[in-house]
Structure 1
Amino acid sequence: MHAPFSRRRRLAITCLILAAAGPGVGSRAASARTAELSGSARPVIEQFLLAQAGGLPGKVSIRVETPMSGALPACDALEAFLPAGARVWGRVSVGLRCNGDGSTTPAWTRYVPAYVAVVANYYVASRPINAGDTVGPADIQLRQGDLSALPRGVLTNPQQAAGMVASNRIALGAPLRLELLRGATVIQQGQSVKVQSQGSGFVVSTEGRAMTNAAAGVAIQVKTQAGQMLSGIARADGSVELPN
């Protein structure tokens, strides 16, 4: 009989504590953490992030939030920067530096949370693709979404998958990623290949034997009939091109 009463008593005490704290305390705290930043610092950060994201595909949108420390001090000479190694999409922490005059305006540095969304086209598998399968146009399907919420290396151009071979199994609907694909083998180890070197107004060619397998565009070593080892790039037609 005592155990149920004890549980009811603990529940009643918990309710009294929550009521005393006031309604919506948790929601207000969450709102404070995610409130958008106001003031002159916001456009400085937005312009900085837009410039940094200029080379990204798709439509970029930026949300700048108020840091946990609260509103930023006043400053007329703000400079935004990113920490070393930070990427420019998804959730980022933007450094903001005030170059004060040392008297009326002291110098300070703060870090401001922001979210950079990049909405663009990307491609998924339209069927289960097994390791070793060559990926064709019928095997990929267009999607649109926030690239910052997807794995790195997701394909945004269908040409990136043209003629590629799956190195792992790719499930139906899974985003296609560069690390899941490899080039089709155009030269087999031990194969006799033509080795070419081109220059201004001349082409020199010889025969050799491939020392490894290679896909188009991949470096490969070739042993000539004279026993010389040459390094070149495998071409789609099965020949090897030597660097100039």
Structure 2
Amino acid sequence: MKTLTSALLLSAITGAASAAQIQDPAKLRQTVDQFLQVQSAGLPGKVTVTVGNVDGRMKLAACPAPEAFLMPGSKPWGKTTVGVRCAAPSPWTVYIQANVSVLGHYIAAASPVPQGQPIVESQLATIQGDLTTLPASIATDKAQVLGRTSNIAISAGMPLRLDSLRIKPVVQTGQLVRLVSSGPGFKVSAEAKAVANAADGQVVQVRTAGGQHISGIARAGGMVEVAF
């Protein structure tokens, strides 16, 4: 009886030791969750991370410092796959599926937006939804699109994408502009001709009456600020 008890005790101790040497799946999921929380911290909205289950049939060696990473080309939002690797004492790598949703506001067309016409506020609506399911470069603030023109006709209900919008130029090719440079105690101005279109705040190149090409910052009212 004593021999049987000792054998059972030894078996229990051996089993506990073996379990202690196997990686806890919950730790892997926690590593992925923390990694995605950090990676998505700058996204514009309420972030929710859902980590998939880890295959319980895997018996990975316990790792004191598992490291999460994204595969090349992967993004830390929407449906994604995160790798977790261990360098020591036993190297291994596993891949775990996850989903990162971002509940936020985006700008959609409240009414049809014709191509090439400046967008006004009455044409816009603010909608709430999962931003990760929407097209890239989605507008999230009306200020981003007001006054711009669209490269395409936009139907009511469609989200507005910044990459399909153009900023209204304040300086146009061939326009006569006023070059202005100022500093402590002085202000100099001269006339020149723009050689390209530019929106407010963009760099534009102009040509002076003498044929010299100068770069400056386009401003409303046909002005170009130049630093000498």
Using structure 1 for the length normalisation, give the TM-score: 0.76
**Counterparts of 1:142 and 1:212 in 2: how far apart (Å)?**
34
Three-state SS of the structure 2 residue aligned to 1:187 is coil
Q: Which among 38, 44, 56 is matched to residue 31 of structure 2?
A: 44
Letter in 2 for 1:93: T
Three-state SS of the structure 1 residue aligned to 2:122 is helix
Cα pair 2:29 2:53 within 8 Å, conserved: no
| Corresponding residue for residue 4 of structure 1 | none
Number of aligned positions between the proteins: 204
| Corresponding residue for residue 99 of structure 1 | 87
Q: Which among 67, 77, 98 is matched to residue 89 of structure 1?
A: 77
**Counterparts of 2:124 and 2:170 in 1: how far apart (Å)?**
23
**Counterparts of 1:202 and 1:85 in 2: how far apart (Å)?**
52
Change (3 A) 1:199 1:98: farther
Unaligned stretches of 5+ in structure 2? 1-23
Provide Cα deviations, 1:39-75, integer angstroms capped at 9, x if missing partner.
1111111111111111111100011113579557242
**Counterparts of 2:66 and 2:153 in 1: how far apart (Å)?**
49
**Counterparts of 1:109 and 1:213 in 2: how far apart (Å)?**
52
Change (3 A) 1:211 1:95: same
Change (3 A) 1:139 1:41: same
| Corresponding residue for residue 63 of structure 2 | 75
Three-state SS of the structure 1 residue aligned to 2:26 is coil
1:193 aligns with 2:196: no
Change (3 A) 1:43 1:198: farther
Provide Cα deviations, 1:97-120, integer angstroms capped at 9, x if missing partner.
11322xxxx111112111110110
Q: Which among 63, 66, 90 is matched to residue 50 of structure 2?
A: 63
Change (3 A) 1:68 1:220: farther
**Counterparts of 2:188 and 2:59 in 1: how far apart (Å)?**
67
1:236 aligns with 2:220: yes
Q: Which among 129, 132, 136 is matched to residue 145 of structure 1?
A: 129
Q: Which among 162, 187, 207 is matched to residue 178 of structure 1?
A: 162
Aligned-pair CA distance for 1:88? 1.6
Q: Which among 110, 117, 134 is matched to residue 101 of structure 2?
A: 117
| Corresponding residue for residue 28 of structure 1 | none
Unaligned stretches of 5+ in structure 1? 1-36
Aligned-pair CA distance for 1:209? 0.6
**Counterparts of 1:86 and 1:204 in 2: how far apart (Å)?**
52
**Two-structure CA RMSD over aligned residues (Å):** 2.2
Provide Cα deviations, 1:136-163, integer angstroms capped at 9, x if missing partner.
1111101011111000011111110121
1:206 aligns with 2:193: no
Provide Cα deviations, 1:117-145, integer angstroms capped at 9, x if missing partner.
01100010011111111111111101011
Change (3 A) 1:243 1:151: farther
**Counterparts of 1:80 and 1:216 in 2: how far apart (Å)?**
43
Three-state SS of the structure 1 residue aligned to 2:96 is strand
Change (3 A) 1:175 1:69: farther
Change (3 A) 1:232 1:40: same
